[in-house]
A = this chain, B = another copy of it.
Amino acid sequence: MAAAIALADEAGLGAMTMKAIAVRLGDYSPMALYRYVHNKEGLVDLMLDAATAEIPLPARPGGDWRSDLYGLAMDSRRMTHRHPWYAQLVHTRPPAGPHMMRRLEFMLTVLTGEGATVAAAMTYAALVDRHILGSGLQEAEEARLDRRYGLDDTAKLVAAIRALHGLAVADGGVPHLAGWLAQPTGFTADEQFALGLDFLLDGIARRLAKPAEE
C-alpha cells in the first residue's frame, strides 16, 4: 500500500499499475500482490483510508466550532495536496473506511454541539467536503497536465495559455475571458480555497444562529 501511494504521488494514477507496484517493492511479480489484496479496488480502499488517516484529528472539539471545521478543512486540503490522487479516487469507491468515518464523526460532533440536527450536520459536512475535494480535483488535474506536457518549465504552460487565448480571441464574443487569458492574474489557489470555505462557514453560521430551524 505504501508503495502504491508513493508511486501515485510521484508519477500519477496512470503509473500506478500492479506491475509497477510489485517492481517497486523489490522486483516481484505482479501476481504476488494478490496474496495481500483482493484486487486493485481493495488496494485503493486501503490507500484512501491510509491517506485519510494522515489528517490530524483532535480527540475532541475545541471550544470554537468554526475554527475546528476550518482547521480540519485546511488539514484535509494539505493531505489532498500531498496526494493528488485522493480526490480522483475517493469518488470511485463507497466511503466506508474507518478513518473517513471518524473524520465525519468529528464534524458531526462539532456541528451538533452547536445545536444542529444530525441531518443538517451531515449536509453541512458534505458541503465542506465537496469544496475540499473539488479543489483537490482541480489541482490534481493541473498536476496531471503538468506531468503530461512540459514539466520542465512554465514555457509550455505559457504557450498553452497563449493557444487558448488565440482560440478565445478568434471566437469573438468572449471579451472578458480573452482579456483575462491575456493577463491571467488573480487569487491564488489557496486564497480561492479559503474564500470558498469562508462562504460556506458563514452560511452554516447563519443557520446555526437561528434556533429550531429546518
Within 8 A of B (CB), among A69-100: 88, 91-92, 94, 96, 98
**Number of chain copies forming the complex:** 2
| A-B CB proximity, top 8 nearest | A199-B203, A119-B186, A130-B134, A108-B176, A105-B174, A134-B134, A127-B196, A123-B187
A171 & B101 in contact (Cβ 8 Å cutoff): yes
A130 & B127 in contact (Cβ 8 Å cutoff): no
Q: Which of B92, B98, B176 contacts A121 (CB 8 A)?
A: B176
A91 & B141 in contact (Cβ 8 Å cutoff): yes
Q: Which of B168, B191, B200 contacts A101 (CB 8 A)?
A: B168
B104 & A177 in contact (Cβ 8 Å cutoff): yes
A186 & B123 in contact (Cβ 8 Å cutoff): yes
Closest chain B CB from A68 CB (angstroms): 15
Instruction: Name 20 interchain pairs, CB-CB below 8 A, sorted by A.
Output: A92-B141, A96-B164, A101-B167, A101-B168, A102-B171, A104-B174, A118-B176, A119-B187, A120-B186, A120-B187, A122-B180, A123-B191, A123-B195, A127-B195, A130-B134, A130-B196, A196-B200, A200-B200, A202-B203, A202-B206
A177 and B91 alpha carbons, distance in the complex (Å): 20
A120 and B145 alpha carbons, distance in the complex (Å): 24
Q: Which of B96, B109, B180, B203 contacts A203 (CB 8 A)?
A: B203
